A and B are shown apart, each in its own frame.
Chain A
């Protein structure tokens, strides 16, 4: 069994959706994660706040978020246990994040030192 990080890339929800829509997404996300946890395959996860986001560059140049393109914006991640990359991908496919066009979930195996 390996651990995989599922990385969500999407826009700042607060900018593109109503509070009701956000709440609906949150519920869907909880149901999705609950389904993984019910299989004893959930390890951990966090949402990341878009407000006050900063990016620190080479030479300590600091810029503000939010960011220009969706591919640059991280909304959160979860870590799951899976037998194979394919199983981790199957988990990722259920993510409500993917309802948004242009959004993605990146699947990366965690290297345990």
Chain B
């Protein structure tokens, strides 16, 4: 096995776990992007200059820089993460990559993956991918052609979008219309989806306003709040109300 592939298998899960512990499990996609990016940088740099004396230290150094850059740069930091971090953590943005924190993070990741709310098939898939570094060939290929990974993700979103475009032509339903608009946001961006969502006018449907709130989150949080509030006033079950309250709390 190539040294970098071996490192991928042993280090990827640690990096993802630490990033998720730090950013929150909801940001797993971002954690994966940062981790993939780091291995891509490693493949490029080591291919040219040769392997460094301490590859793990190299990886941790780069992941730390990328994480800091991400936190500084990205809106999500302002909107979502910052409120969940304590003052102290904001002032010392270094990632804690100590062995103790890596072990803690991986344990936390295990519990997160095995949460009963995640379907069993998805638990297995997540565990194999994130904890075991399974599918090493595909993943190794993927971080060498990182663009393709992103394209595949987009392709999936577009497939779902079609499913709904066609479904709606055959049989309209408000739920399908909302799902279609959500898929549109994934495939073509939130701005486009907002324009289409506002034409739906499902004004007695709480999920319509929840969707609008979601779409506006990070773009116009004031509008997001107004929509979530409307959704809250339409929600009937305690559970629905709690979910919406949580979204408002995160704004």
Contacts and interface: CB of A to CB of B under 8 A. Distances in A.
B5 interface: no
Interface stretch (B12-20, B93-101, B102-110, B163-171): B163-171
Contacts of B165: 30-31, 33-34, 37
A67 interface: no
Contacts of B188: 31
A34 B199 contact: no
A42 interface: yes
B166 A38 contact: no
Interface of A is mostly: helix
A60 interface: no
B201 to A, nearest CB: 8
B196 interface: yes
Contacts of A27: 158, 162
B168 A42 contact: yes
A111 to B, nearest CB: 23
Contact of B161 (A31, A42, A45): A31
Interface stretch (B69-77, B118-126, B143-151, B177-185): B177-185
A33 B168 CA distance: 9
B132 interface: no
A38 B166 CA distance: 10
Nearest to A38: B177
A37 B168 contact: yes
B177 A30 contact: no
Interface in A26-47: 27, 30-31, 33-35, 37-40, 42, 45
B51 to A, nearest CB: 40
A45 to B, nearest CB: 8
Contact of B169 (A31, A37, A39): A37
Contacts of B172: 37-38, 40, 42
Q: Which of A27, A37, A40 has the most CB of B within 10 A?
A: A37
A35 B193 CA distance: 10
A16 B221 CA distance: 45
Interface of A: 27, 30-31, 33-35, 37-40, 42, 45
Interface of B: 158, 161-162, 164-166, 168-169, 172, 176-177, 180-181, 184, 188, 196, 199-201
18 contacts: A33-B165, A34-B164, A34-B168, A34-B169, A34-B180, A35-B184, A35-B196, A35-B199, A37-B169, A37-B172, A37-B177, A38-B168, A38-B180, A38-B181, A38-B200, A39-B201, A42-B168, A42-B169
